[in-house]
Amino acid sequence: MKVIKKSLSLAFAAVFIFTVTILDAAWGSIPTATIEKARDATVLIATDGDNAGGFGTGVIIDPSGIVVTNYHVIHRATTIRVFFYNPNDLNYYEADVIGVDPVADLALIQIKVREDMLPLTYLRIEPENFLIGEEVVAIGHMLGLQWSVTAGILNSLERPGKITPYVTILQHSAQINKGNSGGPLINKNGDIVGINTYILLPKGGWSGIAYAIRGDNVHRTVKQITETGTVQYTALKIGLRNVNEFFIKAVKREWPDQKIPTGIFGMMSLYIEEDDWAYEHGIRNFDILVAFDGTPVNYLYALKEIIKEYKPGDKVKLIVIRNSHFITIDYELSEIDFKEYLKFYDKSIKERFNEGGRLTAPPEKEEKKEGLIPPPKRLLVPDSEDPGLPDNEKRNSDKNGTNG
């Protein structure tokens, strides 16, 4: 009997050790050495300017001192100062802006460091591998607590960007707050899977929901800026909303005489004016886009992924449903104008944050021209593809969201 009990104990111990090993492999924490390297590559950014001032986070992505951060961290700044994690060196180093991408809320800056300091510790950007439930670590200066480290998991891999669905962001549960903006979100390899950008504050406190610009978007922006000095986004320049049962019901309530087909998927064009690019190239209000250059498209995210393979000026064939008929339109692609996005950031700083630091509702869109029926304001909730317009801004900016 003693032999049997001893054997059972050994067997249980073996099973327990095996189970713990498996769990550790699947859910093991990110190594301390990996986090320390990421901390050393993370910098504190302080800015001064007429319409700017404050601090945020950045991460070094090249040994020469190139840093990626959020655009809103350095927006309108006249002076940029960078501090390293080094208890023995409390000096700051000035930095110059290399390029900006207001569409993705990203910017590249170059730190002016001494040659004897090179090469600097840097992190690699992960452009492809993002796993739901993957453990991640955020590093930044939340609420002035410098180089704070928090851990969480990836909750979603495909949320629409804050101000445009042209950008894909990650939702995660690593705690971030004001001051984390521009800081890295790293995986177990110490690679950057995202750049933290904003959080949701439904009641003025931490909700457990944070957002980071996904690594592939970051990689694309960095590549374009370092190679050409600018960033370009191909765009349809059409205000589109995903068509679904609830959206169709809302449209029919507002325009009972409008012929809107039911039981279909696609994207409806709205807010089209006579001097818009879309109108000049054949699109009308209430057109439902169902195919792009021979590829069926049912929703905005799929369209965004397809259009990335095209360049401004390319000619494509669009199939839309108009007055219950399928028609083909020869359409020329355009590009996003950054000027509209700069207005968004100015409003974010001066007008759109109340005393509690919570994002307020954006200003209403200007009145439309007579003869063109604008959609009702309650229809602004579904997705929008139109870059830079206040209605698109309202769709993708949560009323209770705030920059990280």
Q: Does residue 105 carry a catalytic annotation?
A: yes
pLDDT band at 161 (very low <50, low <70, confident <90, very high): confident
CATH of the domain at 169: 2.40.10.10
| Residue 343 domain-assigned (yes or no) | no
Looking at 174, 196, 228, the residue that finishes a domain is 228
**Is the domain of 208 the same as that of 239?**
no
- Partners of 89 in the beta sheet? none
The answer to whether 266 and 248 are in contact (CB under 8 A) is no
Domain, as residue range, for 244: 234-335
Write out the H or E segment, with its range, that includes residue 232.
none
Q: Does residue 287 carry a catalytic annotation?
A: no
Residue 350 has pLDDT above 50, yes or no: no
The answer to whether 286 and 268 are in contact (CB under 8 A) is yes
Looking at 117, 146, 163, the residue that finishes a domain is 117
| Residue 1 domain-assigned (yes or no) | no
Structure-token pair, residue 78 = 């006249």
Q: Which residue out of 40, 72, 75, 172 is catalytically annotated?
A: 72
Residue 348 has pLDDT above 60, yes or no: no
| DSSP result, 139-192 | EE-GGG-TTEEEEEEEEEEEEEPSS-TTSEEEEE-S---TT-TT-EEE-TTS-E
Number of domain units in the chain:
3
Per-residue pLDDT of 249-260, as tens digits, reads 888 888 888 888
Q: Does residue 330 carry a catalytic annotation?
A: no
| DSSP result, 218-269 | HHHHHHHHHHHSS---EE----EEE--HHHHHHHHHH-TTS----S---EEE
Model pLDDT, residue 22: 34
Q: What is the rounded distance in angstroms from the CA atom of residue 161 to the CA atom of residue 156?
A: 13
Q: Which residue out of 40, 141, 181, 384 is catalytically annotated?
A: 181
Structure-token pair, residue 265 = 């998927």
Looking at 195, 228, 261, the residue that finishes a domain is 228
| pTM confidence score | 0.78
The answer to whether 216 and 168 are in contact (CB under 8 A) is yes
Q: Which residue out of 40, 75, 101, 105 is catalytically annotated?
A: 105
Percent of the chain at pLDDT exceeding 70? 77
Q: What is the rounded distance in angstroms from the CA atom of residue 269 to the CA atom of residue 214?
A: 28
Residue 391 has pLDDT above 60, yes or no: no
Residue 362 has pLDDT above 60, yes or no: no
Model pLDDT, residue 204: 57
**Is the domain of 248 the same as that of 311?**
yes
Mean pLDDT of 104-109: 96
pLDDT band at 380 (very low <50, low <70, confident <90, very high): very low
- Between 125 and 50, where is the model more confident? 125
| Residue 151 domain-assigned (yes or no) | yes
Buried b (16+ CB within 10 A) or exposed e, 254-266: eeeeeebeeeeeb
| Residue 401 domain-assigned (yes or no) | no
Question: Residue 125 to residues 69, 107, 138, 266, 308: CA-CA distances in angstroms?
Answer: 13, 15, 14, 34, 20
Q: What is the rounded distance in angstroms from the CA atom of residue 43 to the CA atom of residue 81?
A: 10
Model pLDDT, residue 101: 95
- Count of residues for the chain? 404
Q: What is the rounded distance in angstroms from the CA atom of residue 200 to the CA atom of residue 206?
A: 7
- How confident is the prediction for the chain on average, in pLDDT? 81
Model pLDDT, residue 99: 95
Mean pLDDT of 121-134: 97
